Every structure is written in C-alpha cells, then in structure tokens.
C-alpha cells in the first residue's frame, strides 16, 4: 500500500506541472493585448520570457539541491506562492522593467521548482515502471498548452489582460497548494534500498561539486543541452517558416498543437518502451529520429507536410525529454537526485535559449531557414553520438571525505 502511494504523487505531479507551466508559458497569448494597452514593445514584453528561461534554469538547480535537503513538498509550496505573487505583480505593472522582473524573475524562478523536485520524488517511489511514472508526470507539461492557453484566451476576452492574469495567479496558487500537500518523501524501505552502481550521498552534507564532476553527470548534462539546442530553434521558427511557404497565420500556429498532441503519445510510448528495452536505447533512437525530422524540414513546403513532420518531431522530443530523469536515477542515489536533475535542467534551459536567437541570426544572414535546419540537425546528431558514450557506473567515489558507491 505504501508503494502504491507513488501513483498518487504521479497524479498530483502531473496536475501541478500542468497548472504551473501552463500559467508561465501563456505569455504569448497576452502579448498583443499587453502591447495594445500599454504601448510597450513586443521585444520588451517577450524579453520577460527570455529572462524567465534563464532564471528558471538557474533556479531549477537551486530548487533541486534544496529538495535533497528538505524534500519536494516545502519547495513546491514556496514556489506556488512565488508563482502567484509574480503573476499578480506583473498583472498590475505599469512599467516594462517591473513587468520583466515580476514575470521573468519571480514567475521564472517558480517555474524551476517543479520539474526537478517532482521528478526526483517520483523516481524515489518506483523500482518498476519507473519510466512510465516519470513520463506520466511530464504529461502535465504537454497538456498545459491545450488547457491553460485557451483558458487564458477566454479570460482575456472577457476581463482584459490584467484581470485575466490576476485571476490566473489566484487560480494557480489555490490549485497547486493543496496538491503539494500530497507530495511526500519515499518511505525508507524504498528510498534507501541498496542498488549497485549508484553515486550515493553521505548522511550529513553533500558536495555538489563532487556529484557534478562525475562522468555520468557530465554526459547527461551534455546530451540534454545538445538535445534542447537542436529542437529549440526549429520549434520557435517553424511557424514563420510555414508562413513563408504560404500557410496562413492560424494554420501555421496550429502546427504547435500537432506537436503537442504527438508529444503526449511520445511520452507514453517512449516510457513504456524504455521499461521494456532499456532507457539508453530509447534515448539514442529518439535523438536520431529527432535529427532526421529536423533535417527533413528543408524538403517540405506544404501545410500537410508540416503537420506530418510536426507529429514526428513531437513524438521524438516529447518522448525523450522525461527519460533523462530515468537515466539519472540509474546512475545516482535518490539522496542527490534533486541536485542532479536541477543541474541537467539548467543546462537544458541554456540550450533552449540558443535556438531562437541562433535561428534568427541565420535567417538574417542567409535570407532563409535552410541553414537553421541543417545546423540543428547536426546538433541533434551530435546529441545522439554523445548519448552513445553514456558511461557505466564505476567504482567508489569520495564525497565529502567519505567513500561512497559510484
């Protein structure tokens, strides 16, 4: 019965992720109404999202490390309040700098408090069906654009953007707080079960540097960085590319919906497959499929082809993303899982930040998107090649002066 409670945390984690990520990533819906009412530039408003990505990456590492010490429940509770405060201040801001600090700083900081802490906790509850459990938690992030974005659109139409954002702040906080109370640490029988080849943490204090110097962490972080750097540019610029090919703005935007829906199936399919054939094989296969899909963009120019390719890419990157956490659990003890997941999430956020800027520069320089897709596919292949070097757990490692199993 105690072990079955892990599925309760899976459900709570999926809902928390859906609400939190949906509230944060709904900013594109607010862009036009904010610009119309305030006169702020689109670049200035969008800059809040860029700041949010960077802050979320750094904060995710800090939140993950804190989770190893105090557990995920207090971290998620604090983040829920921070999210609400950030959205509320942003909704009342009359100065663009205040808006950027509130949305990019506070909301971004709270956004980093959900993936690593929740994934680390879920991983500690499962010995079997681990990949499936993690994939189900990540479904929340995939469902978020389909639920929270339309909701924000309706609220804006009925109330105006300020009241809509303030309402979202209240709703998100009131939903996440009680769900966070369901999150609890794995029981000792699950958390402390011996497993060969894990980098464990001492009972008192863990050297973050000692964990991050391990080859397992370095390769994980590198693959996650390259994976996100490969698909972030194509994701961001595909709508513009489709419009250049003759698609209407509405039709081009719907490509994202196809990617999101395919990503939901990818999470389930890849999660089940990883439990059967091994997480490393599925990650490598998914990265190769992602690279091939990205490269294929240079050969398409019709909306139907965009939809078909969006389905392939959504399946690939949506399915692969949760599995990095599963592989981390094969290498590291639950006692340092928050630190590990926070660290690799930080590198992935940096990778995501490169794609939109790099794609824009390539388009401005060469006049088309061909080199974006060629270079992104090359980065995707590099991710797959680095993934082939995932090391096996090695011998003992010294952490804080104590010899621990590697």
DSSP symbols for 86-110: HHHHHHH--SHHHHHIIIIIIIHHH
- Nearest 5°: the CA angle 315, 320, 325 is 150
- Each residue's pLDDT tens digit in the chain (406 positions)? 445 788 898 999 989 988 998 888 888 778 778 888 998 887 788 778 778 878 888 888 888 888 888 888 999 999 999 999 999 999 999 999 999 999 989 999 998 888 888 888 888 888 777 778 887 887 777 777 677 777 888 898 899 999 999 999 999 999 999 999 998 887 765 444 444 444 444 433 446 677 778 888 899 999 999 999 999 888 877 777 888 888 876 677 677 778 878 888 888 888 888 888 888 999 999 999 999 999 999 999 898 999 999 899 989 988 888 888 888 888 887 778 888 888 888 888 888 877 777 887 888 888 888 999 999 999 999 999 999 998 775 444 444 444 344 4
> Hey, is 162 helix, strand or coil?
helix
> Hey, is 332 helix, strand or coil?
strand
* Contact between residue 143 and residue 68 where contact means Cβ atoms under 8 Å apart: no
Residue 366 half-sphere exposure toward CB, CA atoms < 13 A: 14
**335: DSSP letter:** G
- Residue 98 CA to residue 86 CA, distance in Å, equals 10
What is the structure's pLDDT at 290? Answer: 95
Residue 96 half-sphere exposure toward CB, CA atoms < 13 A: 17
Element (H, E) at 179: helix 161-180
- Residue 33 CA to residue 38 CA, distance in Å, equals 8
At what angle are helices 303-320 and 279-296 packed, to 10 degrees? 160
Distance from chain centroid for Cα 397 = 30
Residues paired with 402 in a beta bridge: 399
Query: pTM of the entire structure?
Result: 0.71
What is the structure's pLDDT at 272? Answer: 84
- Residue 184 CA to residue 191 CA, distance in Å, equals 12
Residue-range domains of the chain with CATH: 5-183 (1.20.1250.20), 208-392 (1.20.1250.20)
- Residue 108 CA to residue 63 CA, distance in Å, equals 12
What does the block give as tokens for 136?
């189900």
* Contact between residue 322 and residue 135 where contact means Cβ atoms under 8 Å apart: yes
* CB within 8 Å of 195: residues ≥ 6 apart: none
Element (H, E) at 133: helix 130-159
- Residue 83 CA to residue 17 CA, distance in Å, equals 12
What is the structure's pLDDT at 189? Answer: 53
- Residue 340 CA to residue 131 CA, distance in Å, equals 17
What does the block give as tokens for 81?
């309040």
């Amino acid at each position: 019965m105690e072990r079955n409670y892990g599925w309760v945390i899976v459900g709570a984690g999926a809902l928390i992720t859906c609400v939190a990520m949906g509230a944060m990533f709904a900013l594109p819906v607010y862009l036009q109404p904010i610009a119309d009412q305030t006169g702020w530039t689109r670049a200035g408003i969008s800059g809040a999202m860029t700041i949010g990505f960077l802050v979320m990456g750094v904060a995710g590492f800090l939140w993950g490390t804190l989770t190893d010490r105090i557990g995920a429940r207090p971290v998620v509770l604090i983040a829920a309040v921070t999210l609400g405060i950030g959205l509320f201040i942003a909704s009342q801001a009359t100065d663009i700098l205040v808006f950027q600090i509130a949305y990019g700083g506070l909301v971004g900081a709270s956004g980093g408090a959900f993936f690593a802490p929740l994934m680390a906790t879920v991983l500690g509850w499962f010995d079997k069906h681990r990949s499936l459990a993690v994939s189900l938690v990540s479904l929340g992030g995939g469902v978020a654009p389909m639920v929270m974005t339309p909701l924000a659109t309706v609220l804006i139409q009925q109330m105006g953007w300020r009241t809509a954002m303030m309402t979202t702040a209240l709703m998100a906080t009131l939903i996440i707080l009680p769900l966070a109370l369901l999150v609890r640490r794995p029981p000792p029988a699950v958390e402390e079960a011996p497993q060969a080849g894990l980098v464990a943490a001492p009972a008192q204090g863990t050297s973050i540097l000692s964990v991050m110097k391990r080859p397992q962490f370095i390769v994980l972080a590198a693959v996650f960085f390259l994976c996100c750097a490969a698909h972030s540019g194509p994701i961001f610029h595909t709508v513009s590319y489709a419009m250049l090919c003759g698609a209407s703005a509405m039709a081009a935007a719907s490509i994202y919906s196809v990617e999101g829906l395919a990503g939901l199936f990818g999470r389930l399919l890849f999660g089940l497959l990883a439990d059967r054939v091994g997480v490393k094989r599925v990650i490598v296969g998914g990265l190769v499929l992602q690279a091939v899909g990205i490269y294929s963009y240079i050969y398409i120019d019709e909306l139907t082809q965009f939809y078909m390719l969006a389905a392939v890419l959504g399946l690939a990157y949506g399915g692969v993303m949760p599995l990095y956490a599963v592989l981390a659990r094969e290498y590291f003890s639950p006692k340092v899982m928050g630190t590990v997941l926070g660290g690799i999430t930080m590198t992935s956020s940096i990778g995501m930040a490169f794609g939109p800027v790099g794609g824009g520069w390539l388009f401005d320089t060469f006049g088309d998107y061909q080199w974006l897709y060629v270079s992104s596919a090359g980065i995707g292949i590099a991710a797959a090649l680095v993934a082939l070097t995932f090391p096996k757990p090695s011998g003992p490692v010294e952490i804080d002066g104590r010899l621990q199993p590697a």
